[in-house]
Each structure stands twice: as C-alpha cells, then as structure tokens.
Structure 1
Amino acid sequence: MRFFNTEGPVRAEDHYVLPPLQRWDLGDVLALIEQKKYFLLHAPRQTGKTSCLLALMDYLNREGRYLAVYANLETAQAARENLALAMTDIVQTIAAEARLDTGEQGLAELAEDVLAHNAPTRALRAFLTRWCERSERPLVLFLDEVDALVGDTLVSLLRQLRAGYRQRPSAFPSTLVLCGVRDLRDYRIHASSEAEPITGGSAFNIKAESLRLGDFHPEEVKTLLGEHSLETGQPFTPEAVERVWHLTQGQPWLVNALAYESCFRMPEGRDRTKPINRALIDQAKEQLILRRVTHLDQLADKLREPRVRRIIEPMLAGTAMDVIPIDERDYLVDLGLLRRVNGGSLEIANPIYREVLPRTLASGPMDSLPQIRPSWLDAAGNLDPDALLNAFLSFWRQHGEALLGSAPYHEIAPHLVLMAFLQRVVNGEGSLEREYAIGRGRMDLCLTYRALVLGIELKVWRPGAPDPLTEGLAQLDGYLASLALNSGWLIIFDRRPEAPPLAERLASSLTRTPAGRAVRLIRA
C-alpha cells in the first residue's frame, strides 16, 4: 500500500505523488537545455527539488539525446574549507552517481587519475573535460545541495565550472543545473553565515536563469489527497481538504505530513470506513508541533541565526523592517520561512509556521513557568474570562518580570512570556492563534477554548514614545471586527525605564473602542 511521503525523494511505487515534471514548466526547462544554458533551481527544503531533478534525469535519458547525471554534493560539506578533501569527494561522488544511475563505465579510474595529476583547483574541471570528450552524448549535469558548501570550496567549484563553460558541449557539460535552498543571486561567497563576502563580485556569472520550485496549488493538494481516497476508499471531507490547504498554504512537506499523520498514525484515521475530517487534521497539526518533527525543528533552529532574528523579532513585535537589507529578507524567503504577498509585502509562509515560530521562542519561558492551578475553568470545564484575567494578573505580579530573562528575543520578551502562559491555559483543549501586524506596533492573539473566543491585542509602551492606548483601542476595533466579536482585551506592556514599579502599575480597567466595543484594558 502506498502512503504519503515525508522522507526523501518520492517513489511512485511507494508514495502518493504528483508527477514531478508537472510541477514546473517542462517546456521552458527543455528550452534551456536545448540552448546549452547553465541555470539554478532553488526552493526551501523538502519541497520536491530532488524528486524533480531525478524525474528530469530519467526523462532525458529515456529520450536519448543527452546523458543526464544527478549528484548530491552534501557529503563534501564536512570538508568545510579543506579544498583538497572537498574536491576529492565531489569528483568521486559525481563518478559514482553516474555509474549507478546511467551505467557509465571507467569513471572511477578517470577520477583517480585526474585527482592524482591535478591541483584541487583544477581537478573538477579536468574530470568533466575528459569525461565529456569521450562521451557520445552531450552531458547534462545536475549538482544538488551546492549551497551546503562554504568558503573556498564553493568558490573553487564555481570558478572551475565557469572556466570550462566555453568548452561546452564537446569538452564540458552542455547544460549544468545547480540546485539548493538559496538563490545565490550574485554568488557572494561567505566563510560563514555571518562573515563578510570573501569574493569580489560574482563567482558564477554564467547562469541564465534562477528557477524556483513553488508550493502546491489548492487543486494539487486536493489531487494528492485524492490519491489516498482512490486507493483506500477513505475520503477527505471538503472541510478537511480546505483545512490542509489553509494550514500549509501548499508547502509540500506539510501537506504530506498532515495527511500521513491523520491517515496512518492516528487510530481514528486508520479506520478506512471513516472519513478524514477537519478535527483530525487539527489534531494532526498539533501532534506534529508537539513532537517537534525534524522539518519543524530544523525550521525553528534557524531562529538562532542573527540575520533571522533581525527580521522575525520586528515581525512579532509589529515594528517596521525598512532598515533591514533586502538580501537578508530574501534569505528568509529562500528558506521558506516567509513569503511575499500583495505585490511584495512579507508574511510568515503559512499558519503552521506562524504557530511554530512564537511557540518555539516561548518554549524557554514555558519551561520556566511555575505550577499554575487552572483556576480559570468553571465547574463544567469551560473557560471563565474573568477568572482567567485574575489568574493572569496574579501570575504576572509574581513571575512576569522574573521570566522575561528566559525569553530569547529581548524586544518581545513580554509577548513570549504571555504566550507561554496562554499556551498553558489552552493545554490541548483549545487553540492560540497569532496575527502579525508588521509596521503597526502590535501583535494580535485569538484564544479559542470550546465555545469561548477571546481577542487580545498586545502593545508595548517603548521609551520616548507616547502612551499607545488610543492607537491600541482603534487597532483592536479592527481586529475584533474581523473576529465578529463585540469585546476583547488590550494589554499594554510598559517598557520605559521611568515606568512605575510593576506592583504599582499592574492593573485592569474597563473602557471602549471608538466603535463602542467593550475592552478590558490591562497595564503590565
């Protein structure tokens, strides 16, 4: 029986699959190959890049005009900037992959001879030249995980490929495709992620195109889920299909992971006589987040990078990003953390990432939380907003300031501690959704617990700024209107050095928005 794939390239005999060659414009790709172009393919991790390259390799080899070879260069990353070791690994990897995938003979011996008689800065070029000279068909070479290489290793690889470019197709690959997560636009090479470039200008100015493999479209999500229904007879309800699309925005790994979790791991989903409904998809989402599956864990690990923090922190705080260089913003788009919408504005790529990022950042405060008795529940187990308010004020009075130091992003420490507290409140029985308001100085939270829906807006009173109360009430009006609510909370965290002590300023009062909605104002 086939299943939804979440590990490595797809195999049609094992996995539900969308035909990889249909995920990009094959006509355009074949035109680039026909024109002997060198180009890039990039996309975030686990979106299907390798599957597409392998499918294209098989297509070209069956067609017979070209000799197509795929090689993954990731193992050379371990050599770092040991150029001799890295080039040995790269040359031997290409030779071994060519033999396994196409049956090419004699390449291991050729690699050994080239490595013995050429400097590391010439070895790859010499190997490709001699191979192409003896080949009966033009070589189309796919090099995957190129951006895993760093420093001098990457510089040398690109320089050698550029040096042999004019000899194609008789003595160098006719077409070369470099594949990775990032679109290395100018191939500015760094010794590390934060170092200054170690090359001047472009090290690879022969690329014709940078192709980006996109996420699934809504119809593709429906088609992929339908593969399971056709094979097993178990349908996804229309609401479940829509929920998968909404939560993932078509991110391929997330689509497959939600479907696999709901159909193959959860006991309710393994009963093929029952449809997969929206509730199962929501449970699957929560399980993936709680288990910190590898894909989400790797994504969250990026939050430690300074250039990621420089963007995610103001996004969460609702402050502007106009001083952040565009290449740093593009880096997060390449990683798949962000996406551009409405002509270029940035937002978190999908609702699951939108939930994972702040929950990851709030994990330190959450682990530091003291034991809290759930005094916010009534006798029937429903959430009482007034009791929740009292519990929060008591918690913040006793522990708020002490926990701020456990938050990894200082500028949004109050937000993270509050989210840790509220995550403890929902505790699997409800949900906490976050809305980012870039450039508008706020964060919006929607707490749902059974029948209760509570809209909360967070504002920070920063040094040198006026009291954000008036602005916050106007903004909360719009947020509550979007939730179809007539009341909500406005929490203002006072971060001014001259602010009164917490014991004096912590208080709540009732007020109203300009449109007359009831507001519980909390100053913390």
Structure 2
Amino acid sequence: MRFFNTEGPIRADRHYSLPPLSRWNLDEILELIDQEKYFLLHAPRQTGKTTCLLALGEYLNRAERYRAVYANLEIAQTAREDVARGMRAICGAIGAAARRDLGEERLYTWTEEVWPAHGPEGVLNALLERWCLNSPQPLVLLLDEVDALVGDTLISLLRQVRAGYTQRPLAFPQTIILCGVRDLRDYRIHASSERDPITGGSAFNIKAKSLRLGDFTAAEARTLLLQHTAETGQVFTSEALDRVWALTQGQPWLVNALAYRACFELPEGRDRTRPITLALIDQAKEALILERVTHLDQLAHKLQEPRVRRVIEPMLAGTLPGEASEDDRQYLVDLGLLRRDGAGGLVVANPIYREVLPRALASGPQDSLPRIAPTWLNADGTLNPSALLETFLAFWRQHGAPLLRSAPYHEIAPHLVLMAFLHRVINGGGTLEREYAIGMGRMDLCLRYGAVTLGMELKVWRDGAPDPLAEGLEQLDGYLAGLGLDSGWLVIFDRRADQPPMAERTASSTTLSPHGRSIEVVRA
C-alpha cells in the first residue's frame, strides 16, 4: 500500500506522488542542456528538488544521448574552510554517484592520479576533464546541496567549474546543474566571518539561468490527495480538501504531512470506511505544530539568525522591515518562510508557518509562566471571557514585567507574553489564530474555545507617537466584522519611557467602536 511521504525522495511504487518532471518545464531544461548551458535549480527544503533531479537523471540516461550523474555534496559541508578535505569529499561523492548511475569505476583511481599534480584547487577540474575525454556521450552533472558547502570549499568548487567551462562538451561536462535552497544569483560567499563577501557573480558568472521549483498548485495538491481515495476508497470531504490547500498553500511537505497524519495516524482517519473531514485535518495540523516535527522545528530554529530576525520581528509587530536588506528579504523567500503576494509584498508563506513562528518565539515566556488556576472557565467547562479578562489583568500586573525579559524579540515581547498566556488558557482545548497586518502597526488574534470566539487586536504605544486608541478601534472593527463578532478586545501595550510601574498602569475599560461594537480596551 502506498502512503504520503515526508522523508527523503519520492518512490512512485511506495508513495503517492506527482510525476516529478511535470513540476518543471522539461522542454526548457532540455533546451538548456542541448545548448550546453550551466544553470541553477533552487527551492526551499523538502519541496521535491532531489526527487526531480533524480527523475531528470533517469530520463536523460534512458534517452542515451547524454550520460547523467546525480551527486549530493552535503557530505563535504563538515570540511568548511579545509579545501583539501572538502574537495576529496566532493570527488568521492561524484565517484560514488558515477559508479551507482553508470557503473563507472574509474573515478576513484583518476582522483588519486591527478591529485599530486593539481592539488585541491584543481583536482575536480582535472578529474572532470579526464572523465569527459573518456566518455562515449557528453556528460550532464547534477550536483545537489551545493549551498551546504561553506566558504573556501564552495569558492573552490565554483572556480574549478568555471575554469573548465570553455572546454565543454568534449573535455568538460556538457551541462552542470547546481541545486540548493538559495539562488546563487545574489548569493554571498563568505570565506570567513572576518573577510569581505565575494559575490556569486564573480565566482560563477557562467550561469545561464536560475530556475525555481515551486510549490504544488491547488490542482496538484488535490490530485495527490485523491490518489489515496483511488487506492483505498477513503474519501476526503470537499471541505477537507479545501482546508489542506488553505493551510499549506501547496507546500509539498506540509501537504503530505497533513494527509499522512490524518489518514495513517489519527484513529478515526485509519478507519477507511470513514471520510477524512475538515476536523481531522485541523487535528492533524495542531498535532504537527505541537510536536514541533523536524521540518517545522528547522524553520523555527532559523528565527535565531540575525538576518531572519531583522525581517520577522517587524512583520510580527505590524511594521515594515525597513532595516532589512534585499538580501535578508530574499533569504527568507529562498528558505520558503515568506513569499511575495500578488501585489509584490512579503507575507508568511502559509497559515501553518504563520502559526509556528510566533509559537516558537513564545515558547520561552510560556515555559516561564507561573502556575495559573483556570478561573476563566465556567462550571460546565465553557470559556468565560469576562473572567478571562480579569485573570489576564491580574497576571499581567504581577508577572508581566519579568516575563517580558524572557521574550527573544524585544520589539514584540508583550505580544509574545500575551500569546504564551493564551496558549496556557486553551491548553489543547482550543485554537489561537494570528493575522499580521504589515505596515499597519498591529497584530490580530482570534481565540476559539468551544462555542466562544474572541477577537483581539494588539497595538503598541511608542515614544513620539499618538495614543493608538482611535486607530485601533477602527482597525478592530474591520477584523471583528470579518469574524462575524459584535465585541472584542483592544490591547494597547504602553512602551513609552518614564511610565508608572506596570502594576499601576494596567487597567481595562469598555467603549464602543465606530460601528457600535462593544470593545474591552486593555492598557498594559
């Protein structure tokens, strides 16, 4: 029985899958190869790059016009600045791949023969030259995980490839495809932290094109999911199919992970006589986020990087990432954390990532929270919004100031502490959804617990700015209208200097919004 795959390359006999080469413009790639072009393929991690490269290699070898070899260079990452170690690892990886894909055994011997004369800075160039001169067909080399290489090892690889470029196709590969997460078009190669960066163009200016492997389209995601129905008879409701697309926006790993969790791990989903419903997809989503599975944990770990923080922190605060460079912004797009919407603006790539980022940032404050009695629950276990407000005010007066210091992003520390508190409130019995209003100076939260839906808007009052009350009430009106609510909270965090202690200035009052909604205004 086939299943949804989330680990490693796709195998069509074992995994539900789309034809790998259908996700690229195969005619364009074949034309580039026929024209002896060297080019780049890039995409975020776990989107199917390796699967597509392997399929391309098999396609080329079946046609017998070229000899194609796929090699993963990640093994050379540990060499870092040690070019000798790095080039031995790279030549070894290519030699192993040639033996696997073509039955070519001579590359190991050739490496040892050319090393004494050429050394680490020329061994790859000499090896590829000898290989091509002894090959019955032109060689196409598919090199994966190139951007895993570090510093001088990466520079040496690129320069040796460039040095042999003019000898193609007789004495150097007809085509070399470099594949990784980042686009070398604007890649910055640092030999070490003390040296100036070397631009990708100067190290690899023979590149003809940069191609990007995209996410699934809505139709592709649906086609993948319905393969399960065709093989098992278990249907997805139309709402469930729509929910998978809405949550993932076609990110391949997320599509497969949601479907695998819903169909193969949740008890209700394992019963093939029962449909996969919207509720099961939502349960799968929450489980993936709470367990911090590897894919999501790797993304969350990126939040510690300064260049990621320069973009994400102002986005979460609702302001513009003005201090972030174009390279910073493109880095997050290359990682798949962000995407550019139809208007060209930056947005978080999908709703699941939108949940993961602030949850990861709020985990420190959440771990630091004191024990809080659930006084916000009625006797029947339902949520009491008025009691919740009183509990939060008491919590903030007593614990707000020290907890702010535990938040990793200073500019949004109040937001993170409030979210940590709300996660303690729902405790698996509800959900907390977030909307980022970039450039609008706010974050919107929607807490759902049983039959209760509570909409909140978070604003920050900074030095030199007017009281955000009026603007917040107008903005909250629009958010509540979208949720179909006639009441909500406006939380204003006062971050101005020389304010009274937090315990003294934390208070709430009730007012009406411009459209007559009842708003609890919290000043904290």
Q: Normalised by the size of structure 2, how large is the TM-score?
A: 0.98
The residue that corresponds to 1:446 in the other structure is 446
Give the letter aligned to residue 504 of structure 2.
E
- State how far apart, in whole Å, the 1-side matches of 2:470 and 2:428 are: 35
SS where residue 120 of structure 1 aligns? Answer: coil
Question: Which region of structure 1 is more displaced relative to structure 2, 69-78 or 260-269?
Answer: 260-269
The residue that corresponds to 1:100 in the other structure is 100
Gaps of 5+ in 1: none
Q: Is the contact between residue 308 and residue 332 of structure 2 (CA under 8 Å) also seen in structure 1?
A: yes
Q: Is the contact between residue 74 and residue 149 of structure 1 (CA under 8 Å) also seen in structure 2?
A: yes
- State how far apart, in whole Å, the 1-side matches of 2:35 and 2:127 are: 23
Give the letter aligned to residue 282 of structure 2.
D
Give the letter aligned to residue 267 of structure 2.
P
Q: What's the offset of the Cα at 1:187? A: 3.9
Query: Superposition pairs for residues 111-510 of structure 1, below 5 Å?
Result: 111-191=111-191, 196-198=196-198, 202-510=202-510
CA deviation vs aligned residue, 1:40-91 (integer Å, no higher than 9, x gap): 0000000000000000000000011000000000000000010001001101
Q: Is the contact between residue 186 and residue 205 of structure 1 (CA under 8 Å) also seen in structure 2?
A: no
- State how far apart, in whole Å, the 2-side matches of 1:26 and 1:201 are: 26
Cα 1:269–1:193 shift into 2, 3 Å: farther
- State how far apart, in whole Å, the 2-side matches of 1:462 and 1:105 are: 68
Question: Which region of structure 1 is more displaced relative to structure 2, 311-320 or 507-516?
Answer: 507-516
- State how far apart, in whole Å, the 2-side matches of 1:449 and 1:199 are: 51
CA deviation vs aligned residue, 1:392-430 (integer Å, no higher than 9, x gap): 011111111111111000110000000000011111111
CA deviation vs aligned residue, 1:465-511 (integer Å, no higher than 9, x gap): 11111111111111112212111100000111122222221111011
Q: What's the offset of the Cα at 1:200? A: 8.6
Q: What's the offset of the Cα at 1:201? A: 5.3
Question: Which region of structure 1 is more displaced relative to structure 2, 49-58 or 397-406?
Answer: 397-406
The residue that corresponds to 1:11 in the other structure is 11
Q: Is the contact between residue 262 and residue 284 of structure 1 (CA under 8 Å) also seen in structure 2?
A: yes
SS where residue 347 of structure 2 aligns? Answer: strand
Gaps of 5+ in 2: none
Q: Is the contact between residue 20 and residue 51 of structure 1 (CA under 8 Å) also seen in structure 2?
A: yes
Give the letter aligned to residue 391 of structure 1.
T
CA deviation vs aligned residue, 1:275-327 (integer Å, no higher than 9, x gap): 11111111111111111110001010000000000111000001112332111
- State how far apart, in whole Å, the 2-side matches of 1:451 and 1:490 are: 21
Question: Which region of structure 1 is more displaced relative to structure 2, 183-192 or 160-169?
Answer: 183-192
Give the letter aligned to residue 344 of structure 2.
G
Give the letter aligned to residue 400 of structure 1.
G
Question: Which region of structure 1 is more displaced relative to structure 2, 273-282 or 193-202?
Answer: 193-202
Q: What's the offset of the Cα at 1:102? A: 1.6
Q: What's the offset of the Cα at 1:194? A: 9.7
Question: Which region of structure 1 is more displaced relative to structure 2, 350-359 or 184-193?
Answer: 184-193
Cα 1:187–1:348 shift into 2, 3 Å: closer
The residue that corresponds to 2:42 in the other structure is 42
Question: Which region of structure 1 is more displaced relative to structure 2, 258-267 or 79-88?
Answer: 258-267
- State how far apart, in whole Å, the 1-side matches of 2:501 and 2:411 are: 19
Give the letter aligned to residue 383 of structure 2.
L
The residue that corresponds to 1:32 in the other structure is 32
Q: Is the contact between residue 186 and residue 202 of structure 1 (CA under 8 Å) also seen in structure 2?
A: no
The residue that corresponds to 2:22 in the other structure is 22
- State how far apart, in whole Å, the 1-side matches of 2:19 and 2:201 are: 38
SS where residue 477 of structure 1 aligns? Answer: helix
CA deviation vs aligned residue, 1:227-281 (integer Å, no higher than 9, x gap): 1111111111111111111111100000001111111111111111111111111
Q: Is the contact between residue 375 and residue 391 of structure 2 (CA under 8 Å) also seen in structure 1?
A: yes
The count of residues paired between Structure 1 and Structure 2 equals 524
Question: Which region of structure 1 is more displaced relative to structure 2, 316-325 or 146-155?
Answer: 316-325
Give the letter aligned to residue 449 of structure 2.
Y
Q: Is the contact between residue 397 and residue 502 of structure 2 (CA under 8 Å) also seen in structure 1?
A: yes
Give the letter aligned to residue 418 of structure 1.
L
- State how far apart, in whole Å, the 1-side matches of 2:136 and 2:235 are: 50
CA deviation vs aligned residue, 1:142-175 (integer Å, no higher than 9, x gap): 0000000111111110011011111100000101
Q: What's the offset of the Cα at 1:116? A: 3.5
Give the letter aligned to residue 397 of structure 2.
R
CA deviation vs aligned residue, 1:107-126 (integer Å, no higher than 9, x gap): 22112212233211101000
Give the letter aligned to residue 426 of structure 1.
I
- State how far apart, in whole Å, the 2-side matches of 1:117 and 1:236 are: 63
Q: Is the contact between residue 47 and residue 215 of structure 2 (CA under 8 Å) also seen in structure 1?
A: yes
SS where residue 202 of structure 1 aligns? Answer: helix
